[in-house]
Amino acid sequence: MDSLYLLIPLSVALVLAILAVFGWALHGGQVEDLESEAERILTDDVRPLDADQAPEQGRREQSRDSI
């Protein structure tokens, strides 16, 4: 019985933390457009993540062609 005095507040705190993280994800736009992210893997478009990655990728493709 004494353990319930500890477990009930801990479980309530855990539920509130989970709801806070879920609300943060909704507010941040994490679940706005799920279809385009699911279809993105099927396209052949290779876009660099950063501007720094574009020249390196082009150099790698050129070096592979010359071999």
Mean pLDDT by 10 residues, the chain (67 residues): 93 98 91 79 70 58 55
Instruction: Give the model's pLDDT for residue 41.
Output: 77
**DSSP secondary structure letter of residue 47:** -
Instruction: Give the model's pLDDT for residue 18.
Output: 98
User: What's the rounded Cα separation, in Å, for the pair 30 and 18?
Assistant: 15
Instruction: Give the model's pLDDT for residue 15.
Output: 98
Instruction: Give the model's pLDDT for residue 23.
Output: 95
Instruction: Give the model's pLDDT for residue 48.
Output: 63
Q: Do 51 and 45 meet the contact criterion of CB atoms below 8 Å apart?
A: no
Torsion angles phi and psi, residue 31, rounded to 5: -120, 30
Sorted by sequence, the CB contacts under 8 Å of residue 31 that are 6+ apart come out as 25
Torsion angles phi and psi, residue 35, rounded to 5: -70, -45
